[in-house]
Amino acid sequence: MRERQKYSSGQKWESIVGYSRAVKVGDRIYVTGTTATDEDGNIVGENDAYAQTVQVIKNIKKALKALDVSLENIVRTRMFVTDISLWEEYGKAHGEFFSEIMPATTMVEVSNLIDPKMLIEIEADAEL
């Protein structure tokens, strides 16, 4: 089995559910569903789809950096949003980070996330 590197953000859900924020195996990195929380677990940008998306991507960037990878390595993102009518706000923030990287992406509306204040959760896959 290939070496597995794990990164934990320290958020309370990781130990309860039993997952890592990001896992690197060989040349692939998988970033789990990431939300707009700060280091203390507080939601950033309440009721602001754009601000939450920016925070989510910053959290993903931090996880990748801990594994010596950058946003440029992302090949796919999956956005789970609670209100698809706000797609332009989510998309604007996503585009500000990824307009040159252009990963494959998906945006899907879901009924709820783990906290009702959360508007978006993003998964990302990266390759070296």
77 compared with 5, residue with greater pLDDT: 77
Q: Evaluate whether the domain defined by 4-127 bears CATH number 3.30.1330.40.
A: yes
Asked whether the predicted pLDDT for residue 1 surpasses 70, the reply is no
For the chain, helix, strand, coil in percent to 5 are 35, 30, 35
- 60-109: pLDDT as tens digits: 999 999 999 999 999 999 999 999 999 999 999 999 999 999 999 999 99
Write down the pLDDT at residue 17: 86
**Domain boundaries along the sequence of the chain:** 4-127
Sign, CA torsion 18/21/24/27:
positive
**In the Cβ-directed half-sphere of 58, how many Cα atoms lie within 13 Å?**
13
